[in-house]
Amino acid sequence: MIDRADFLDRFGGVFEHSPFIAERALDAGAVSEPLTAGGVHAALTAAFRKASQAEQLGVLTAHPDLAGKLAIAGGLTEDSRKEQAGAGLDRLSPAEHVRFTELNTAYTEKFGFPFIIAVKGLDKGDILAAFERRIGNTADEEFETAKGQVERIALLRLNALLPGD
């Protein structure tokens, strides 16, 4: 039987600062042993998709800006810090940092949540290109795109914690 406290301790942060996702997945009986990345991801994603739009927006807004103030101040979660560093976002030139800041501000003003992208396997050029492309989306398109990226980030985090299926 899955120990609730252990499960929530291990997986409560997979969806950034949103342990209610793991709680709801467990409470719904959607999690079964043996725990695998795919199985836990399916359960967490189902709970995320069943959350209200306001709760989903809360998950999106829990994500930090890419190369933003939290990164500079060292205030990212360990997962976010590693993910951003892996994409080179901790080594931006001053000009690149200015561009990221401009895009972060414009994006957040337009959509009401930070730009979210699963950065694994991407470099800063790939991320900037996606930023430039996605800022032209409608609010509905971008809300769906951002949710998909959050789910992808969750899968990548779970793959690092659990065996595959």
In this predicted structure, the answer to whether residue 12 has a pLDDT above a threshold of 60 is yes
- In this model, does residue 77 exceed pLDDT 70? no
Per-residue pLDDT tens digits for 108-127? 999 999 999 998 888 888 99
Regarding pTM above 0.75, the answer is: yes
pLDDT, greater one: 94 or 161: 161
- Highest mean pLDDT pick, 53-57, 101-105, 117-121, 122-126: 53-57
* pLDDT confidence of residue 64: 75
Which residue out of 17, 41, 63, 97 is catalytically annotated?
63
What mean pLDDT is reported for the chain? 88
Tell me the C-alpha distance between 153 and 147, whole Å.
10
CA dihedral 85, 157, 163, 144 (to 10 degrees): -130
Q: What is the C-alpha to C-alpha distance for residues 6 and 32, in angstroms, rounded to an integer?
A: 14
> Under CATH, which number does the domain 65-149 receive?
1.10.3330.10
Please say if the pLDDT value at position 27 is more than 70: yes
Q: Please, are residues 149 and 115 in contact by the beta-carbon 8 Å criterion?
A: no
Whether the bond into 34 is cis, omega within 30 of 0: yes
Query: Catalytic residue at 97?
Result: no
Q: Quick check: 74 pLDDT over 70? A: no
Hey, what amino acid is at 23? E
- pLDDT over threshold 50, residue 73: no
